[in-house]
Amino acid sequence: MRLALYVTCLVDLMRPAVGFAALRLLEEAGCEVVVPPGQTCCGQPAWSAGNRDLARNLAKKAIVELEPFDYVVIPSGSCADHLRNVYPQLLADEPAWATRAATVVARSYELSHFLNEILKLEDVPGAFAGSATYHDSCKGLRGLGIKSQPRALLAQVRGLTLAEMQDCEECCGFGGAFAVRFGEVSTAIVDRKCEAIAATGADAVVGGDLGCLLNIEGRLRRRGDLSTQVLHLAEVLAGPEST
Amino acid sequence: MHSQAMFFQARAGAQVRNAGLQKTLQRVRPLFVAKRVKGVAGLVEDGIDVEALRNACAAIRRRVVDDLDVWLEIFEERAKASGAEVLWARDGDEVARLVVDLAQRHGVTKAVKSKSMLSEEARLNEALSAAGIRPVETDLGEYIVQLAGETPSHIIAPAVHKTIGEVEALFAEAHERPVQERTSADIPMMAAEARAVLRQHFLSAEMGISGANFLIAESGSAALVTNEGNGRMVTTLPKLHVVITGIEKIVPTLEDFATLMRLLPRSATGQGISNYVSLLTGTRGAEETEGPEKTVFILVDNGRAALAGSDFADMLRCIRCGACMNHCPVYFSLGGHAYGWVYPGPMGSVLTPLYTGIENALDLPHASTGCNQCGSVCPVNIPLPALMHRLREIQSERGLRPWRERLTLRAWGWLALRPALYRWLTRRAARYLRWLADDSGRISMFGLVPGWTVGRDLTPPPGQTFHELYAARKRA
């Protein structure tokens, strides 16, 4: 199968390692992975800001890039939710585009969803000596029902023990532009998340969305916690790069 | 209530920095969540499909909202047939005028009130006081808030922001006694103290003012769902009872009411049923010994009718349980007063712009992380994040966003549609961010996005973008 890896704008700019980890996982599972070269952003920031026209244009751009593939895999619940749940309504009043959107959307998956339910991965390459706690990001959880998949995959990571935190389904306070627009409120929210993480004593907090992870990591470090690792699920599952 | 919603940003900051408030909120938050979990678990134990029940509740409310005028006419006819009077108010000012007028015609000097958020919309206490009529709030939380000269910070727990020490100080002053050291063990005693004071007001007030959780069309009744018993005093002891409620509060039948009651208390307080459920129909009958001699319904529009048939019609289903704010990370970082008008939390972020003007509450639809914790617990399935999102779109369409934000978004969008240019710029951005890192290897001050670094560091990227590294690998 030939699949497109949609790395997301945040991974592209802020943490390329997540993209490469996803790439390794998919390639080692036997997929032919293409990174469509023109990809920029799925358009969620425009949508969230209320700019429907721009969100629609970026959706069309992504659809054109992604429609030649059997599958589209996205290492972000938030971006995958945007494709799957927002694209259809954005393009609902343009029948030709709506059809194309429906085709792409039906093939688009959040990474853990794809690895667990489509590839049915039973042995991930990653190893992690220690305990980790998993933060359920809101859009993946409540928009796509991503809950069991990352846990099923983490259970395959050698050496890793999962220590669930209190209120793991509570929002971390990121919310895209929200984090910057209402910085103090966002900080107050992520503070509660940091306390829940600290209470587990876990060596690492793992999540499926880089936005949430940057938020959590930023607050942990500011609070003086320099040791808790903050990792994307793909990084944990793929393990360190061998080269 | 005059809206202060335009000052959300400033008020939010102040509330986040209010250590006492933060302590109170963090203590209360898990209680609210746990109560609903327990309430819903009770349904599951009874073998009830909670999702099906939510859908049924939503369907009942949708049926009303779709034909609101028809149901209102039925209600008016049945209520009148039972001996009540029905008045209509276009807005809050008209509510205040009608109530003051009724009070004056009946020689009222004191009015006892059971909780009514609509009376907050109408700034009724202010209007009554100005007319020389003393309003006395009798819900314990409302009583506390009234003594403090404040407004409710939560729709079902109005004084949730108050500490026991603050309440003690208010009681000592109002009840003319010295302040004492109080712990939570003293709460029943303090409640008894308030009860003794309020009892005299119930007996001497000439007018009772209540809201209604629902209006039952088939019987012309008001349904009142309370826990303290004050609602029964307010609606039965004074000779005149005024019910003030929004026109959207109708349910067709008593059967529908029973269905909604399976979820309303459970969503609000986790209770299987509240301590008191009253159905108030008409006036005191010839052979009856209690009840008001006169009952007046004031049915209020104040922006509601305009929502019917609009993009925001879903909001009219709201049954005011408060579950949305009880599960909102933003609400529990701020408390209710930051929202600046009557309704806080996600409910308020939708209602305040719609009822007081979209241009007068620009921050509220953005004061959400989009987490949908509210929508996922709403007993009538209101898609609160989608409604906030629609308000954002309207702001954008009307050019109501700040020019700097619009410019940034347009520039970013223009680039995101041009991959080559976008790559060129992100490559530079990655290097710039790398360069910004201080000795710790992190970015602790970032002038372009001060909102981020106010409370967080930023982990810089390695210096090269994914696409840059990927292209290099492909070449290798």
* DSSP secondary structure, B137-183, as one string: E-SHHHHHHHHTT---SSSS-TTTT--HHHHHHHHHHHTT-------
What gap in Å lies between CA B293 and CA A184, rounded to an integer?
A: 54
pLDDT in the model for residue B287:
87
Same domain, B302 and B440: no
Whether B419 is in a domain gets the answer yes
CA distance A189 to chain B (A): 6
> Which residue of B lies nearest to A16 if distances are taken between CA atoms?
B466
Same domain, B414 and B297: no
Relative to beta strand B221-226, strand A158-162 is: unpaired
The answer to whether the CB of B75 falls within 8 A of the CB of B82 is: no
What gap in Å lies between CA B28 and CA B325, rounded to an integer?
A: 12
What gap in Å lies between CA B213 and CA B122, rounded to an integer?
A: 17
The answer to whether the CB of B417 falls within 8 A of the CB of A58 is: yes
Whether B424 is in a domain gets the answer yes
* DSSP secondary structure, A194-234, as one string: HHHHHHHT-SEEEES-HHHHHHHHHHHHHTT--SSEEEEHH
pLDDT in the model for residue B223:
98
A97 three-state secondary structure: helix
> Under an 8 A CB cutoff, do B450 and A138 touch?
no
Q: How many domains does chain B have?
A: 2
Which of B27, B372, B443, B456 is the best substitution to test chain A (most A C-beta atoms within 10 A)? Answer: B456
Residues of B in contact with A183 (CB under 8 A): 450-455
B380 φ, ψ (degrees, to nearest 5): -120, 25
Percent of chain A exceeding pLDDT 90 equals 98
- Choose the final residue of a domain: B280, B306, B332: B306
Same domain, B111 and B241: yes
Same domain, B422 and B280: no
Task: Select the residue of B373, B401, B455 nearest A171 (Cβ to Cβ).
Answer: B373
Same domain, B282 and B418: no
Please state whether B7 falls in left (phi above 0), alpha (psi between -120 and 50) or beta: alpha
Beta bridge partner(s), residue B85: B296
Whether B228 is in a domain gets the answer yes
What gap in Å lies between CA A136 and CA A154, rounded to an integer?
A: 13
- Choose the final residue of a domain: B306, B324, B359: B306
How far is C-alpha A122 from the chain's CA centre?
20
CA distance A175 to chain B (A): 4
CATH number for the domain harbouring residue B231: 3.40.50.10420
Q: What is the pLDDT of residues A67-88, one digit of tens each?
A: 999 999 999 999 999 999 999 9
Whether B276 is in a domain gets the answer yes
Whether B115 is in a domain gets the answer yes
Residues 70-129 in A contacting B (C-alpha not used; CB under 8 Å): none
The answer to whether the CB of B145 falls within 8 A of the CB of B174 is: no
What gap in Å lies between CA B362 and CA B185, rounded to an integer?
A: 43
The answer to whether the CB of B38 falls within 8 A of the CB of B267 is: no
CA distance B51 to chain A (A): 15
Which of A185, A214, A229, A232 is the best substitution to test chain B (most B C-beta atoms within 10 A)? Answer: A185
pLDDT in the model for residue A242:
65
Q: At a CB cut-off of 8 Å and minimum separation 6, what does A141 contact?
A: A77, A147, A169
Whether B93 is in a domain gets the answer yes
Q: How many CB pairs under 8 A join A and B?
A: 193
pLDDT at A243 over 60: no
Same domain, B109 and B256: yes
pLDDT in the model for residue B1:
61
Alpha-helical (H) ranges within B217-361 are 230-236, 254-268, 323-326, 331-334, 345-356
Adjacency order of strands within the sheet including A108-110: A32-34, A2-5, A71-74, A108-110
Question: Domain range for residue B452?
Answer: 409-475
What gap in Å lies between CA B55 and CA B211, rounded to an integer?
A: 26
CA distance A167 to chain B (A): 9
Whether B322 is in a domain gets the answer no
User: Which helix (H) or strand (E) segment is A71 a member of?
Assistant: strand A71-74
pLDDT in the model for residue A241:
78
> Under an 8 A CB cutoff, do B370 and A19 touch?
no
> Under an 8 A CB cutoff, do A138 and B370 touch?
yes
Q: What is the pLDDT of residues A22-65, one digit of tens each?
A: 999 999 999 999 999 999 999 999 999 999 999 999 999 999 99
Same domain, B420 and B280: no
Identify the CA nearest to B131 among candidates B155, B105, B100, B156: B100
**Angle made by CA atoms A37, A39, A42, in degrees to the nearest 5:** 165
What gap in Å lies between CA A8 and CA B464, rounded to an integer?
A: 15
Whether B256 is in a domain gets the answer yes
Same domain, B283 and B413: no
Interface predicted TM-score of the whole assembly (ipTM), two decimals: 0.97
Which portions of chain B are predicted below pLDDT 50?
none
- Choose the final residue of a domain: B284, B306, B328: B306
Q: What is the pLDDT of residues A163-203, one digit of tens each?
A: 999 999 999 999 999 999 999 999 999 999 999 999 999 99
* DSSP secondary structure, B379-420, as one string: TT---HHHHHHHHHHHHHHTT-S-HHHHHHHHHHHHHHT-HH
Provide the residue count of chain B: 476
> Which residue of A lies nearest to B19 if distances are taken between CA atoms?
A188
Q: What is the pLDDT of residues B367-424, one digit of tens each?
A: 999 999 999 999 999 999 999 999 999 999 999 999 999 999 999 999 999 999 999 9
CA distance B292 to chain A (A): 47
